[in-house]
């Protein structure tokens, strides 16, 4: 890995989708991020991870990208799909060590999914200040086999994987870049050319996440279902606002805004996290504007600090 | 914002911190050893310098000592010579006085260039003869001659002038030795 004496090394944000590979590189000045380079490469064939040839074609595509940009051994952050991850809250005793928390999480998974006898990779975050007796943790866990496939493929292409995040958390982080943090529940509606994602989160914890593709044409109706599902639970906090990130203002957007305001009394705020970033001279602003909504997950990944290990 | 990393990053971080701590300890130990080596080297150089200074001082001291010894030896020789001269002079002065059964009065006694000149008066000629014999018998007297004798009728005595050549003349004058000592 190159040795950075005066500059802070930055991660490459890599977003592997079934139909395309997206990546983003940024550099950091004292206060701002500058987009150095980005690309969205369509994949030769749209395959799901379970399909034969998925990993070999992915490795070939990544190897070509690494060779083209001389990225050998550069640190990279990637995210695995939330559908491959268990994401739950858990209350454990206060003052437990890391190993004891891991054991408690594994016991909880065994309890939820009895008979599950596979290698589990997990991580957790302490959610609230611990009381005398209990501590709330939020954990994510996935099969070791799933994670290892990503690692093997990306590392075989010549990159050094430093972070494996969960895609919705990376999306949320990217969308909230530059926004004032709030303890209220907020909704994030991401509408791009390929898919639509709706996430409700509070204090960084994802309470609800739904994803649908363009085939599900009636996006306002799907959003309406999600909001009904969320508000039906009396224990949930009211949504302070919905952050809408989209590439173009269409009539559909106006419908969604009107529905949220009239039926749920939730204000909708159009956000553009990219407006807080500068663009390198070599990047085409038109191209970037076109691709930006699809690079939100990559932004959430490159915002992560590079681990020292 | 919550951040997850499904890699075993806590274990990686712990291993990294252990490695870093090890490197720090190694670096600090190396630094301390280097400082100790530099301090040792500097002190060693200082000791060598001081030892050389001491050796120079000792050499100077020895040389000065040698000079002092030489001066002292010259001074001792000079003092011994003075004592010999003094003893010789005393001997010359007291020798006539040691002559028994003589009655004479010395009016002048001069020693110069290895010659002792005596002038005086005596009552009889036999006493002058005795004085001549006595001086001739002295070990340091080489030649005794009576240069002058006169009879004084008014007080009936004889004045005489006697010259004694000394045998063991020291060869050099006292002033010459003193000059040589000051030059050194």
Q: Over the stretch A173-193, which tens digit does the pLDDT of each residue have?
A: 999 888 888 888 999 998 877
For residue A284, how far is the Cα from the chain centroid?
25
Size of interface A-B (CB pairs under 8 A): 61
- What does the alpha-carbon distance between residue B110 and residue A11 come to, in Å, rounded to a whole number? 122
pLDDT of the residue at A214:
66
Are residues A125 and A137 both part of a single domain?
Answer: yes
Helix (H, G, I), strand (E, B) or coil at A239: strand
pLDDT of the residue at A298:
95
Chain B contacts of A142, Cβ < 8 Å? 6
Determine the distance in angstroms separating the CA of A217 from the nearest CA of chain B, rounded to an integer.
32
The answer to whether A54 touches A94, Cβ cutoff 8 Å, is no
Confidence band of B178 (pLDDT split at 50, 70, 90): very low
Chain A contacts of B12, Cβ < 8 Å? 307, 309
Q: Which of B6, B12, B15 sits opposite A123 (nearest CB)?
A: B6
Are residues A136 and A116 both part of a single domain?
Answer: yes
- Give tens-digit pLDDT for B76-98: 888 898 888 778 777 766 766 66
Q: If we measure between CA atoms, which residue out of A148, A23, A162, A14 comes closest to residue A84? A: A148
pLDDT of the residue at B171:
44
Poorest-confidence range of A84-98, B103-117, B146-160? B103-117
Average pLDDT (B133-139) is 79
- What does the alpha-carbon distance between residue A113 and residue A93 come to, in Å, rounded to a whole number? 22
Confidence band of B9 (pLDDT split at 50, 70, 90): very high
Which residues of chain A from 100 to 139 reach within 8 Å of chain B, CB to CB?
121-123, 125, 127, 138
Are residues A160 and A73 both part of a single domain?
Answer: yes
- What does the alpha-carbon distance between residue B15 and residue A307 come to, in Å, rounded to a whole number? 13
Give chain A's radius of gyration (CA, Å). 20
Helices vs strands, H then E, count in chain B? 3, 4
CB–CB contact A165 B16 (8 Å): no
Does B4 contact chain A (CB < 8 Å)? yes
Average pLDDT (B27-56) is 97
Pick the CATH number of B71-179 from 3.40.50.1000, 3.30.1360.100, 3.30.70.120, 3.60.15.10: 3.30.1360.100
Q: The complex's ipTM? A: 0.91
- Give tens-digit pLDDT for A239-293: 999 999 887 767 888 899 999 999 999 999 988 888 888 888 888 888 888 888 8
- What does the alpha-carbon distance between residue A8 and residue A18 come to, in Å, rounded to a whole number? 32
Are residues A103 and A70 both part of a single domain?
Answer: no
Are residues A161 and A75 both part of a single domain?
Answer: yes
Are residues A74 and A92 both part of a single domain?
Answer: no
Chain B contacts of A203, Cβ < 8 Å? 2
Are residues A239 and A207 both part of a single domain?
Answer: yes
For residue B131, how far is the Cα from the chain centroid?
43
Decide if A133 is inside a domain.
yes
Secondary structure letter of residue A304 according to DSSP = S
Are residues A248 and A284 both part of a single domain?
Answer: no
- Give tens-digit pLDDT for A133-177: 888 999 999 999 999 999 999 999 999 999 999 999 999 999 988
Decide if A7 is inside a domain.
no
Are residues A63 and A154 both part of a single domain?
Answer: yes
The answer to whether B144 touches B138, Cβ cutoff 8 Å, is no
CB–CB contact A147 B6 (8 Å): yes
- Give tens-digit pLDDT for A6-49: 666 789 999 998 888 999 999 888 778 899 999 998 887 766 77
Poorest-confidence range of A43-57, A102-116, A171-185, B141-155? A43-57
Are residues A231 and A212 both part of a single domain?
Answer: yes
Are residues A201 and A239 both part of a single domain?
Answer: yes
Domain that holds residue A71: 12-81+145-171+277-302
Alpha-helical segments (H) within chain A: 54-69, 98-112, 144-156, 167-175, 219-232, 251-263, 285-291, 296-302
Decide if A38 is inside a domain.
yes
Annotated domain spans of chain B: 71-179
Decide if A220 is inside a domain.
yes
Looking at the structure of chain A, the number of domains it has is 3
For residue B121, how far is the Cα from the chain centroid?
46
Torsion, Cα of A301, A302, A304, A307 (10° steps)? 110
- Distances in Å between the Cα of B161 and the Cα atoms of A78, B115, B118, B124, B133 are 141, 13, 6, 14, 15
Helices vs strands, H then E, count in chain A? 8, 14
Are residues A56 and A158 both part of a single domain?
Answer: yes
State pTM to two decimals. Answer: 0.71
pLDDT of the residue at B95:
66
Q: Which domain CATH number covers A31?
A: 3.30.420.40
């Amino acid at each position: 890995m190159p040795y950075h004496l005066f500059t802070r090394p930055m991660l490459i944000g890599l977003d592997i989708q079934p139909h395309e590979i997206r990546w983003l590189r940024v550099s950091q000045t004292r206060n701002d991020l500058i987009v150095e380079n980005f690309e969205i490469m369509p994949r030769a064939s749209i395959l799901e991870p379970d399909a034969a040839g998925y990993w070999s074609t992915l490795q070939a595509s990544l190897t070509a990208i690494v060779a083209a940009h001389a990225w050998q051994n550069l640190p990279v952050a990637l995210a695995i799909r939330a559908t491959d991850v268990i994401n739950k809250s858990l209350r454990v005793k206060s003052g437990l060590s890391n190993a004891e928390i891991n054991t408690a999480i594994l016991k909880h998974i065994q309890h939820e999914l009895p008979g599950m006898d596979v290698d589990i990779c997990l991580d957790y975050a302490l959610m609230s200040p611990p009381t005398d007796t209990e501590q709330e943790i939020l954990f994510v866990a996935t099969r070791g086999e799933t994670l290892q496939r990503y690692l093997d493929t990306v590392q075989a292409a010549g990159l050094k994987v430093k972070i494996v995040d969960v895609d919705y958390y990376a999306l949320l982080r990217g969308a909230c870049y530059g926004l004032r943090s709030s303890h209220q529940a907020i909704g994030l509606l991401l509408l791009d050319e390929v898919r639509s994602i709706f996430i409700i989160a509070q204090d960084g914890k994802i309470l609800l996440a739904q994803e649908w593709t363009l085939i599900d044409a009636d996006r306002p109706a799907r959003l309406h279902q999600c909001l009904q599902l969320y508000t039906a639970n009396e224990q949930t906090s009211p949504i302070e606002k919905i952050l809408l990130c989209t590439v173009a203002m269409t009539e559909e957007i106006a419908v969604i805004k009107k529905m949220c305001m009239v039926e749920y009394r939730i204000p909708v705020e159009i956000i553009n996290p990219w407006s807080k970033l500068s663009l390198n001279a070599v990047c085409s602003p038109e191209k970037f504007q076109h691709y930006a909504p699809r690079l939100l997950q990559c932004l959430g990944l490159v915002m992560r600090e590079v681990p020292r290990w | 914002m919550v951040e997850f990393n499904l890699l075993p990053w806590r274990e990686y971080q712990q291993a990294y911190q252990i490695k870093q701590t090890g490197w720090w300890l190694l670096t600090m130990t190396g630094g301390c050893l280097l400082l100790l080596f530099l301090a040792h080297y500097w002190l060693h150089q200082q000791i060598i310098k001081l030892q050389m200074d001491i050796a120079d001082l000792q050499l100077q001291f020895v040389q000065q000592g040698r000079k002092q010894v030489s001066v002292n030896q010259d001074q001792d020789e000079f003092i011994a010579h003075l004592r010999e001269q003094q003893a010789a002079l005393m001997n010359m002065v007291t020798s006539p006085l040691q002559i028994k059964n003589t009655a004479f009065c010395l009016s002048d006694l001069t020693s110069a260039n290895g010659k002792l000149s005596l002038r005086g008066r005596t009552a009889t000629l036999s006493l002058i003869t005795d004085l001549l014999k006595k001086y001739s018998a002295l070990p340091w007297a080489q030649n005794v001659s009576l240069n002058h004798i006169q009879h004084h009728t008014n007080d009936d005595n004889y004045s005489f002038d006697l010259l004694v050549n000394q045998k063991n003349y020291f060869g050099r004058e006292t002033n010459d030795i003193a000059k040589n000592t000051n030059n050194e």
